[in-house]
Structure 1
Amino acid sequence: MPVLYDRLLKLKEMFNSKFGSTPKFYVRAPGRVNIIGEHIDYCGYSVLPMAVEQDMLIAVEPVKTHTLQLANTNPLYPDFSTSANNIHIDKTKPLWHNYFLCGFKGIQEHFGLSKLTGMNCLVDGNIPPGSGLSSSSALVCCAGLVTLTVLGMSLSKVELAEICAKSERYIGTEGGGMDQSISFLAEEGTAKLIEFSPLRATDVRLPSGAVFVIANSCVEANKAASSHFNVRVMECRLAAKVLAKHKGLQWDKVLRLEEVQTKLGVSLQEMLLVTEDALHAEPYSREEICKYLGISLEELRTQILTPNTQDELTFKLYQRAKHVYSEAARVLQFKQVCEEAPHNAIQLLGELMNQSHRSCRDMYECSCPELDQLVDICRKFGAKGSRLTGAGWGGCTVSLVPADMLSSFLTNVYEAYYRRNSRSPALEKHSLFATKPGGGALVFLEA
């Protein structure tokens, strides 16, 4: 890890000039790319991500005062200071330091601590922000591990992942837990099937004759700053309740689409048929949902909708449920192809990725023109499969490229998307790269 070592040394120097002292330890947490399984973790379904080599690094020095001082090597992110015993997370402005505070507060609340020691922290991230590679969750995870280390306490990786997944919701994003899980549970050289309730990770060996290439659309997407993400979460929740009611289940206790399948004891294919039977393609008004469930508008607003979805007038239930059940099936097919490794494995995996993008674009409506253009360019120049990755509405694509075509692929995609669209040269440098599965979060005592 020579590059990481150089970064640690540089971070140590910057820390010294910033705080006039030496860090006691460093924490690293990686970003991730989701290969397949988009927008289904918060519905209870398995996903298939891998950690990338890009990460968040934090240099840390515990201090005797109760002040938390946060600084960032990126001059765009201003310094922040607060009392360690009075953490306030501002949901209205998802500024960078709030993600650190999420991880800090999550550990504090888990152990029920009121008096916390202060610390000086310098953060250095090389995950492009708003790119769908999970820079915000990596910072939450890094902060959780920093706080745990300062306290001298220990938790399993699974416990840490669950605490950080829960604590990221302090910022107002109703995520599902994939990002935090892979950040802690990742291992070099393998992707992971991440399952929930209970959380567990299984190795998935990717085919040897191909590489995954990440391409940044250069359209920033901030989950916490727009309502798109939380509205989709709510549409899935409402779809689960309407499907449960349709099948005579106790719908008021149901929150996730996976629960409906489990309670009915049927396959994902059968759930797609139930969706066709029970839901209509036209958007549902709040009144129609209330009438079907037998509740008042006030009950819908206060007991089901979240504060950031209460103003929505219509909800697309059929499209969202159809995406979730079909995407959950694609994840399992992808894993099966990797395990069986047939001679045309790369072709089959690529087709599953292409189907995933179509579903994200048409059924979940979480793509954007630039992502669609980039996916088309990647396929044109040799990708067997290409799809948006992360929340969408901007960010990155991930493409499965035969290893012997990598060089020409990178050259051609660079020319066709970045140069012709005259994207910012600063962005271009980090915008297109091949990646292999990296390792999970770590604590270093020495730089």
Structure 2
Amino acid sequence: MSVDAAFRREFGRSPAGTWAAPGRVNLIGEHTDYNDGYVLPIALSHHVSVTAAPRDDHMLRLVSHQADGRGELAIDDLAPGRVTGWAAYPAGVVWASRQRGHHVGGLDLLIDGDVPPGAGLSSSAALECATAMAVADLYDIDLAGRELAELARHAENEFVGVPCGVMDQAASVLCTAGHALLLDTRSMAATQVPFDPAADDLALLVIDTRAPHRLVDGAYAARRRSCERAAATLGVTALRDIDVDGLDAVLAALPTEELRARTRHVVTENARVEHFVELLRAGRLVEAGPVLTASHVSLRDDYEVTCPELDTAVEATLAAGALGARMTGGGFGGCAIALLPGARVRACVTEVHQAFERSGFAEPAAFTATPSDGARRVR
């Protein structure tokens, strides 16, 4: 069934257009975005699409092909905490747009896509960004690029209640095909860095562990609070301001091992992003694998956001010949990535499946990632 036909079946009229935004994989730079640090994501070829039409009332009607049920909400009644589940993400974008003074009336939204939900590939940010583009176009709002990403992040922070940084939304909007996005989350300076593993006979393998990835609970927020406490104790605006060369002395000034560990991860992770980019620019991607693995070790030991499934995926890919591997995303479940020779992909996937079976985990999924373009109107 065509998207127009599906929309007419759900809403009894034709749509005005369709907008799509991709999920993302972060190559390196984890839990640095809310510390004013550096991140290096790529956009995936997987997308969330929003097919939409304006309404002449103040009702928001929502249907998702990936979720049961539908939502019908009065826009004037939207407020943080009043909408839960998947509907909170598009509703939050409408709310955030109105909070910023934009005129937004009613909408019918049909949501579809192939970004696996709960996998740490930013399906929520993709939904927010696709919705924000639809709202901007349908209500003639001058909103694009960094401003659109920031509005989507505001919706997730304030309406949904997830204290995320801006990386996911920025990646969904700003990434370009064949490149990784080096984003300075303090200045929002964005640089496209060529990233083409196939040119070196390499592949970037994404392993979806199928371990549920949940960030609304307290674990993610607790990490952010620890970073804020450490920065306040050290008298800096954010942990981004700590230089890795003076790290040992800085850590000695912190009162608890928890704060020292969280700080050590953020500071060394920023340095790893810069080193990884240097290798990319020098055409030395083959040498970048150990940087990825060091990132995982730091996330496992200092930031404590991995889980048995993620650790098993990383260990299995390394045993099968990966040059480097790490968890990606917020952690506590979700996906791992591995940089490996293209000829080793099949053997690596087999090794991961066997390791998961031995451990009694659910069967994982895997695919190779291709750096793709960001959000856009598709029709």
- What TM-score bracket applies, with the shorter chain setting the length? over 0.9
- Secondary structure at the counterpart of residue 60 of structure 1: strand
2:97 matches 1:95? no
2:283 is matched with which residue? 341
Indicate conservation of the 8 Å contact 2:62/2:70, yes or no.
yes
Displacement, 1:423? 2.8
State percent identity of aligned pairs.
31
From 349, 354, 361, the counterpart of 1:410: 349
Alignment partners' CA distance in 2, 1:365 and 1:176: 18
Q: Which residue of 2 aligns with 1:229?
A: 220
User: Partner residue of 2:245?
Assistant: 269
SS at match of 1:341: coil
> Cα deviations across residues 144-185 of structure 1 (Å, max 9, x unaligned)?
111111111222311111221222112221111000111110
Superposed displacement of residue 418, structure 1: 5.8
| Whole-angstrom CA distance in 2 between matches of 1:413 and 1:31 | 23
Aligned to 1:439: 373
Aligned to 1:196: 185
CA pair 97-335 structure 1, distance change in 2 beyond 3 A: same
Q: Distance in 2 between matches of 1:194 and 1:217?
A: 27
RMSD of equivalent CA atoms = 1.9
Contact 2:149–2:166 at 8 Å: present in 1 too?
A: yes
Can you list the C-alpha shifts for 1:331-372, whole angstroms capped at 9, x where unaligned?
Answer: 000000111124xx41x3110000000000000000111111
Contact 2:38–2:182 under 8 Å retained in 1: yes
1:174 and 2:116 correspond = no
Q: Does the 8 A contact of 1:214 with 1:435 survive in 2?
A: yes
Q: CA deviation at 1:12?
A: 2.5
Q: Which amino acid aligns with 2:372?
A: G
Q: TM-score, normalised by structure 1?
A: 0.80
Partner residue in 2 for 1:30: 22
- Which of 133, 138, 163 is the equivalent residue of 1:145? 133
Q: In the aligned structure 2, how far is the partner of 1:275 from the partner of 1:13?
A: 61
Cα offset, 1:255, TM superposition: 4.6
Of 46, 65, 68, 1:54 maps to 46
What residue identity is the alignment partner of 1:377?
A
Aligned partner of 1:382 in structure 2 is 321
Structure 2 residue matching 1:223: 3-state secondary structure = coil
CA deviations over 1:21-67 (Å, ceiling 9, x no partner): 22110010111001100001100001000011111101101122221
Residue of 317, 321, 329 corresponding to 2:271: 329
Find out whether 1:367 has 2:306 as its counterpart.
yes
Partner Cα distance (1:420, 1:323) in 2? 28
Determine the C-alpha separation between the residues in 2 that align with 1:77 and 1:330. 41
Residues 1:256 and 2:235 aligned together? no
- Distance in 2 separating the partners of 1:70 and 1:337: 45
Q: Which moved more, 1:166-175 or 1:320-329?
A: 166-175
Q: Counterparts in 2 of 1:115-126, with a 5 A limit?
A: 116-126=104-114
How many Å separate the matches in 1 of 2:62 and 2:37? Answer: 36
- Distance in 2 (CA, whole Å) between partners of 1:414 and 1:124 is 29
Q: Classify 1:16/1:419 alpha carbon distance in 2 versus 1 (closer, same or farther; 3 Å).
A: farther
Contact 1:182 1:192 in 2 (8 A): yes
Poorly superposed stretches of 4+, deviation over 6 Å:
none
SS at match of 2:204: strand
Q: Quote the offset at 1:414 in angstroms.
A: 3.3
TM-score (norm 2): 0.94
* Separation in 1, partners of 2:251, 2:319: 34
In the aligned structure 2, how far is the partner of 1:88 from the partner of 1:158?
24
1: CA distance, partners of 2:134 / 2:265: 37
Whether the 8 Å contact between 2:71 and 2:87 is mirrored in structure 1 is yes
Superposition deviation, residue 280 in structure 1: 4.5
Q: Deviations along 1:354-408, whole A, 9 cap, x unmatched?
A: 0000000000000111111111111111211111100001000011011222233
What SS does the corresponding residue of 2:78 show, helix, strand or coil?
coil
User: Which residue of structure 2 lines up, in the alignment, with residue 239 of structure 1?
Assistant: 230
Of the three residues 85, 110, 130, the one matched with 2:118 is: 130
Distance in 2 between residues matched to 1:139 and 1:255, nearest whole Å: 31
**In the alignment, which residue of structure 1 is the partner of 2:65?**
73
Three-state SS of the structure 1 residue aligned to 2:49 is: strand
Cα 1:419–1:51 shift into 2, 3 Å:
farther
Choose from 92, 104, 111 the match for 2:94.
104
CA distance in 1 between partners of 2:106 and 2:143 (Å)? 21
**Which residue identity is paired with 2:24?**
R
Does the residue aligned with 1:436 lie in a helix, a strand or coil?
coil
Q: Which residue of 1 aligns with 2:334?
A: 395
Structure 1 unaligned blocks of 5 or more: 1-8, 245-253, 262-266, 283-315
2:59 maps to a residue whose letter is T
Q: Which runs of 5+ in 2 are unaligned?
A: none
Counterpart residue number, 1:423: 362
Quick one: distance in 2 between partners of 1:212 and 1:149? 35
Alpha carbons of structure 1 residues 175 and 417: separation in structure 2 relative to 1, 3 Å: same
